[in-house]
Chain A
Amino acid sequence: DQQVKQNSPSLSVQEGRISILNCDYTNSMFDYFLWYKKYPAEGPTFLISISSIKDKNEDGRFTVFLNKSAKHLSLHIVPSQPGDSAVYFCAASSKGGTSYGKLTFGQGTILTVHP
């Protein structure tokens, strides 16, 4: 039962263009969403997050959008740079009860930005 899904295994874009990575979730209890970036042979590093009380969060070139009714979030990278080439993981957690910050991850999307 995959509660967080990233249906695109890979995405290829040109430098300078927009990259859009998508993520869907099924568990209505999730109310905090994160994107992590992972380079080969390294651990995931936090990129950006969004709480369910918001529908958008920006940090420089990175923007995350949340559509709660559709249970869908997306990460926009504008403009894309070759150094953005990595695996991007969507993750979700719930704040309350005994969640204790446990994360449920999607399968990841490999982003390749061509010069």
Chain B
Amino acid sequence: NAGVTQTPKFRILKIGQSMTLQCTQDMNHNYMYWYRQDPGMGLKLIYYSVGAGITDKGEVPNGYNVSRSTTEDFPLRLELAAPSQTSVYFCASSLPGVDTEAFFGQGTRLTVV
């Protein structure tokens, strides 16, 4: 199994450009998440989804949008890139229920210049 796959691994954007970070998982997990990690900081939750068609905001949702049309895919959209969105983005998935851990993708390093 591939687990959680993110594309691209690296990207440089100019201010004001838009892009979509792709995330797909093959573990049939209901729950999916997007986190960002800034230097020297822990991961912060951007958006999450508990199933196809259901999404909700996390701690730092401003400047981002998500959709969840299938169980497998959970893309993250940046509409108007800003330097503050320079970060490493991690997608994760987990099973519902208690005492379960999240599985993470390898991350997308995004630089906005």
Residues of A within 8 A of B (CB): 4, 6, 9, 32, 34, 36, 41-46, 49, 51, 89, 91, 95, 100-108
Contacts and interface: CB of A to CB of B under 8 A. Distances in A.
A49 B31 contact: no
Contact of A46 (B42, B45, B48, B101): B101
Contacts of A106: 42
B44 A49 contact: no
13 contacts: A9-B40, A32-B99, A43-B104, A44-B43, A45-B104, A46-B102, A51-B99, A100-B48, A100-B96, A102-B48, A102-B58, A105-B44, A107-B42
A34 B45 CA distance: 16
Contacts of B102: 46, 101, 103
B29 to A, nearest CB: 10
A41 B42 contact: no
Interface in B3-61: 4, 31, 33, 35, 40-45, 48, 50, 58
Contacts of A95: 98-99
Taking residues whose C-beta sits less than 8 angstroms from the other chain, chain B's interface range is 20 to 34
B85 interface: no
Given A32-B98, A46-B101, A100 B43 contact: no
Q: Which of A9, A42, A44 counts the most chain B CB atoms within 10 A?
A: A44
B43 A49 contact: no
Contacts of B104: 36, 43-45
Contacts of B105: 43
A32 B102 CA distance: 12
A102 B102 CA distance: 9
B45 A103 contact: yes
B50 to A, nearest CB: 5
Contacts of B98: 32, 51, 95
